[in-house]
Structure 1
Amino acid sequence: MNKMNVLLFFVGMMFCISSAFSQERLPVDAITPEWTFYKEVKGIKFYLKEEKATVIEGKQPFTFVLVKLENTNNKPVKLMYNLAAHYNEGCVNCGNSQEARKLVEIPANQTVEGKYDSGNCPTSVLLYNPNNKLSWKPVAIAIENLIINF
């Protein structure tokens, strides 16, 4: 193998490893009503929690997954990612989906928390609607296509 082939092989392996790491899934059973540490990337800590909220008066509460982002760096960061909800039947906000992909800015040494009424966005996603008999069954949550800029 010449040097160019070795270099291309090494770069390819690093890409595969970083892609696999950045898209690890957290089973929904591991998400509780308390903030649960999910992962840390480049000084950004990701926490997840489940929140039930009555969205329609007189109906059962919906289940949301919220994200808390903690910037442990001494400088502000901008990040983009997909908060992907994986189901037995398919996926929401997965792959190249731009629907809920928005810029999140976090000041130095600060925290940003999602709220259920934010809709599908990087800091919250509707996980389950018990009022819909055809509602998909949630399996896992993942942070996908993460980009962090300082």
Structure 2
Amino acid sequence: MKKINVFSKLTLFFVGFILCTSTVFSQERLPVEAITPDWTFYKEVKGVKFYLKEEKATVTEGKQPLTFVLVKLENTNNKPVKLIYNLAAHYNEGCVNCGNSQEARKLIEIPANQTVEGKYDSGNCPTSVLLYNPNNKLSWKPVAVAIENLIINF
């Protein structure tokens, strides 16, 4: 009876350890200084490559352009994938789309060996986030972005 109890505890420990390490890995932050107007490789998880880029866009005529971060997802698998995550923007003052925020979580489906690209006019979603608004004097100062709470299914 004791051997089964010890085995159960060890199994639970290793399952917990794997969950914790995958959560830590999936929440690496990329400093805003590293994000350029060209696609920058961020990370790869289960055959899905994540790229980020900065895009400035004039949304309102006569106003300064807003700064967005866009995501490009490349499925290198031979089968379609479904994923969901938060595109979190971290600031000195706080965070947008962080933790368990459901506001920008949407299912993304990527066919086998295909790519999906975000656009600035998509709003706050997994493939784009408003990073900085120079027209607002109280706008938060961006520090980093991260892909958080990533789930990938085949």
Length-normalised TM-score, structure 2: 0.95
Deviation of the 1:24 alpha carbon: 0.6
Tell me the percent identity.
Answer: 86
Q: Which residue is 2:25 aligned to? A: 21
What pairs up with 1:1-150 in 2 under 5 angstroms?
Answer: 2-150=6-154
Which residues of structure 2 form unaligned runs of 5+?
Answer: none
SS at match of 2:87: strand
Q: Higher mean Cα deviation, 2-11 or 65-74?
A: 2-11
How far did residue 128 of structure 1 move?
0.1
Which 4+ residue blocks in structure 1 deviate beyond 6 angstroms?
none
Q: 2:104 is aligned with what amino acid?
A: A
- Whole-angstrom distance in 1 between the partners of 2:134 and 2:116: 28
Alpha-carbon distance in 1 for matches of 2:96, 2:14? 33
Task: Tell me the distance in 2 between the aligned counterparts of 1:149 and 1:19.
Answer: 16
AA of the residue aligned to 1:4: S
Deviations 1:68-124 (A, max 9, x none): 000001111111100000101111001111111111111110000000000000000
**Separation in 2, partners of 1:149, 1:15:** 16
RMSD, matched Cα = 1.0
Equivalenced residue count is 150
**Deviation, structure 1 residue 3:** 2.1
What TM-score do you get using the length of structure 1 for normalisation? 0.97
For 2:151, the aligned partner's letter is I
